[in-house]
């Protein structure tokens, strides 16, 4: 069962990573916004399903955890939007030819800022989670988030060409 859930999440995350990276490097227009919204909603639901099945929460823990989870995901979505903008800006510059040094520096600075924002987000939510869950379950949840982000980063790294 765990393998099926992992495969389902991996497939969903591959799709979301591709939707973030590939349209920016393609010459054709991206899919209509409504299709992207449907895809995003499916990925969000799949992720929540995987988290729910791997957290083993009691009823009381679940009641307290899910509102924090939803707030975390909302804040993470803002970070994802920033990441998508960096990827899109890079794609636009990449498709024009050689990247200028000042453009590369701006993109690098923003990419690092996005990574720092993600770390700060985890730091800000760890105490909130610790108020409603035992430490082991807080660690487990953050591990799940880290694994999901690692899959997304891996897929983005494979899809985004190196600077030339």
Q: Report yes or no on 61 lying in a domain.
A: yes
Max CA separation in the chain (angstroms)? 56
pLDDT, one tens digit for every residue, the chain (164 residues) = 455 545 545 555 555 555 554 445 444 455 566 776 777 777 788 899 999 999 999 999 999 999 999 999 999 999 999 999 999 999 999 999 888 999 999 999 999 999 999 999 999 999 999 999 999 999 999 999 999 999 889 988 888 899 88
Please state, in angstroms and as integers, the Cα–Cα distance from residue 42 to each residue in 20, 66, 124, following that order.
15, 18, 27
Total length of the chain? 164
Q: 67 lies in a domain?
A: yes
How far apart CA 90 and CA 107 sit, in angstroms, is 7
Q: What is the DSSP letter of 161?
A: P
Number of domains observed in the structure of the chain: 1
Q: Cα(first)–Cα(last) distance of the chain, in Å?
A: 44
pLDDT value of position 115: 97
Measured between alpha carbons, how far is 7 from 119 in angstroms, rounded to an integer? 26
Position 14 in a domain = yes
Domain that holds residue 67: 2-159
Q: Say if pTM beats, i.e. exceeds, 0.85.
A: no
> How far is 54 from 144, CA to CA, in rounded Å?
8
Q: What's the 3-state SS for 76-128?
A: HHHHHHHHHHHHHHHHHHHHHCCCCHHHHHHHHHHHHHHHHHHHHHHHHHHHH
In-domain check, residue 115:
yes
Any domain includes 7: yes
Residue 32's pLDDT is: 62
Does 29 map to a domain?
yes
Find out whether 11 and 50 touch, Cβ atoms under 8 Å. Answer: no
Residue 164 lies in a domain: no
In this predicted structure, what is the pLDDT of residue 97?
Answer: 87
DSSP 122-140: HHHHHHHHHHHS-HHHHHH
**Domain-located, residue 71:** yes
- Rounded distance, CA 147 to CA 158, Å? 17
């Amino acid at each position: 069962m765990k393998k099926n859930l992992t495969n389902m999440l991996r497939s969903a995350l591959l799709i979301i990573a591709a939707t973030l990276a590939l349209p920016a490097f393609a010459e054709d227009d991206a899919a209509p916004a409504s299709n992207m919204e449907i895809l995003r909603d499916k990925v969000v639901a799949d992720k929540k399903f995987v988290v729910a099945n791997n957290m083993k929460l009691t009823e009381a823990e679940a009641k307290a955890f899910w509102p924090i989870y939803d707030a975390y995901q909302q804040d993470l979505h803002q970070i994802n939007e920033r990441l998508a903008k960096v990827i899109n800006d890079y794609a636009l510059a990449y498709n024009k030819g050689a990247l200028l040094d000042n453009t590369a520096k701006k993109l690098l600075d923003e990419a690092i800022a996005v990574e720092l924002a993600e770390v700060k987000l985890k730091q800000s939510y760890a105490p909130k989670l610790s108020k409603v869950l035992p430490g082991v379950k807080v660690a487990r949840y953050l591990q799940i988030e880290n694994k999901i982000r690692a899959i997304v980063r891996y897929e983005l790294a494979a899809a985004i060409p190196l600077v030339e």
